[in-house]
Amino acid sequence: MIRTKIIATGACVPEQVITNEDLSKIVDTSDEWITTRTGIKERHISKGENTSVLAIGTAKMVMERAKVAPEDVDLVIVASVTPDYGTPTLGCMIQKELGLVNAVAFDVVAACSGFMFAMSVADKYIKTGVYRNAIIIGAETLSKIINWEDRATCVLFGDGSGGAFVEASEEGGILAEELGSKGELWEILTEGHINCANAFNDLKIEDDPEYFVHMDGRSVFKFATKTVVKSVANVLEKVGLTKEDINYVVPHQANSRIIDVVADKLDMDRDKFYMNMDRYGNTSSASVPMALNEMNEKGMIKRGDKILLTGFGGGMTWGTMLIEW
Ligand code: COA
C-alpha cells in the first residue's frame, strides 16, 4: 500500500529574538504573567524578512536534506495566514527561487491547523499516484498582523517556518488523520480583514480595525482543549491503536496550559508531548513542523515511531495526523 512518508524536515526563523522582558517595555505586562499563562519566554520577530524568505529557507533545507534535485519536485504546498501577497502564492515564490520547474505550487489556509491540512492534500495526490513527492511548508510572519498595543494578543505570537519533504513509500507514513472545521465559531479568532474601500465609497483600507489579530482567549482555550482531545481519540480509534502505542505527540505550540489540560484529559504521559513554545511562541501553521524538525535534529525520533501531529486554530479548524516514522 502506498503511503506518504516524511523523508526530511527543516525550519527557518528570523534572527531577532524578543524576550518577555522586551515586551514589558512596550505594553503593560510581565515575564511572570506571560510565563505562567502561556509557557512562552521568547519569540523570533522579523526585522523585515517577509514570510517568503522563511518559507524559501525551509524549502531549501528540506530539499538538501532529502537530496532531491529541483526538477524532481512534483508538488509544493504552503500553509500560511500571512503570505507576502494575495497573489502570487508563497508556493509559486518558492518554485521560482529554487527552480522547481516541473512542480505545481499552491497555498492552503487553515490557520494553525494549516500544516496538517497541507499534508492531507499532498497525501491524497501521492496515494492516488498523481504525484510522487511534495514539499510541505508552514510559514508565518505573524508580527505584521499583530496589534503591538494589545497586551492580550501581542505576547502570544512569533514568526517562523517549518516543513517537510514527503514522498510515496511502501512502509511507514501517514496512517490516519482527522481534519475538521467549525465555521459557526469563526468570530472568536480573526486576523487580516480587508475592507471594501474603493473610489466610490468613504472607506479607507488603513482604517480597518479588524486587520490585526483579534481573539476571545477563553473561548479559544475551551475550543482547543475539547477539540484536540476528541480528535486524538478519534484518530487512534480509526487505526485501532491506544495511547500506549504512541511515542510522541507534537501539538500546536499555542500555550503550555492547553497541552497540560489535553495530556490530563487523555490520561497521557506529559513527557510524550513535545514543547518548544518557550523559545518560539505561537507561530501558527509553522509551529507543528518547527517542533517536529527540532525533535528530528535532536535525534529523538527513530524508525517505526508513531507520532501524532495535532493542531487547532482560526476558522475554527483542527487537524490530527498519525504518522509512522
Ligand atoms: N500581561 C498582563 N496582564 C494581561 C495580559 C498580559 N499580556 N493579557 C491580559 N492580561 C490581563 C487581562 O487584562 C485581565 O485583567 P483583568 O482581570 O484586570 O481584566 C487578566 O489578565 C486576565 O485576562 P484573561 O484574558 O481572562 O486571562 P486568561 O487567564 O484567560 O489568559 C490567555 C489569557 C490568552 C493566555 C488564555 O485565554 C489562552 O491561552 N487562550 C488560548 C489562546 C490561544 O491558544 N490562541 C491561539 C489559538 S491558535
With residue 323 as reference, give the H or E element that holds it: strand 317-324
Distance 32 CA to ligand 1 centre (A): 13
Q: Is 176 helix (H, G, I), strand (E, B) or coil?
A: strand
Q: Does residue 259 have its Cβ closer than 6 Å to ligand 1? A: no
Q: How many CA atoms lie within 13 A of 243 on its CB side?
A: 18
Best residue for ligand 1 mutational test, from 37, 155, 221 (most atoms within 8 Å of Cβ):
37
Which atom number of ligand 1 is nearest to the Cα of residue 312?
A: 48
Confidence class of residue 307 from pLDDT cuts 50, 70 and 90?
Answer: very high
pLDDT reading at 208 higher than 90: no
Confidence class of residue 163 from pLDDT cuts 50, 70 and 90?
Answer: very high
pLDDT reading at 24 higher than 90: yes
State the Rg of the chain over Cα: 19
pTM of the model: 0.96
Residue whose C-alpha is closest to residue 55's, from 139, 121, 124, 134: 139
Q: How far apart are CA 277 and CA 271, in angstroms?
A: 15
Strands 133-141 and 75-79: parallel
Q: Does residue 152 have its Cβ closer than 6 Å to ligand 1? A: yes
Residue nearest to atom 29 of ligand 1 (CA): 37
pLDDT of residue 205: 86
263-280 mean pLDDT: 96
89-96 mean pLDDT: 98
Confidence class of residue 206 from pLDDT cuts 50, 70 and 90?
Answer: confident
112 is known as an active-site residue: yes
For the chain, how far is it from start to end, CA to CA, in angstroms?
16
Distance 155 CA to ligand 1 centre (A): 10
Q: How far apart are CA 186 and CA 55, in angstroms?
A: 27
Confidence class of residue 207 from pLDDT cuts 50, 70 and 90?
Answer: confident
Which atom number of ligand 1 is nearest to the Cα of residue 151?
A: 7
Q: How far apart are CA 277 and CA 80, in angstroms?
A: 18
pLDDT of residue 258: 96
Distance 152 CA to ligand 1 centre (A): 5
pLDDT of residue 241: 96
| Cell numbers that stand for 168 in this block | 510515496
| Cell numbers that stand for 58 in this block | 525551509
Q: Does residue 33 have its Cβ closer than 6 Å to ligand 1? A: yes
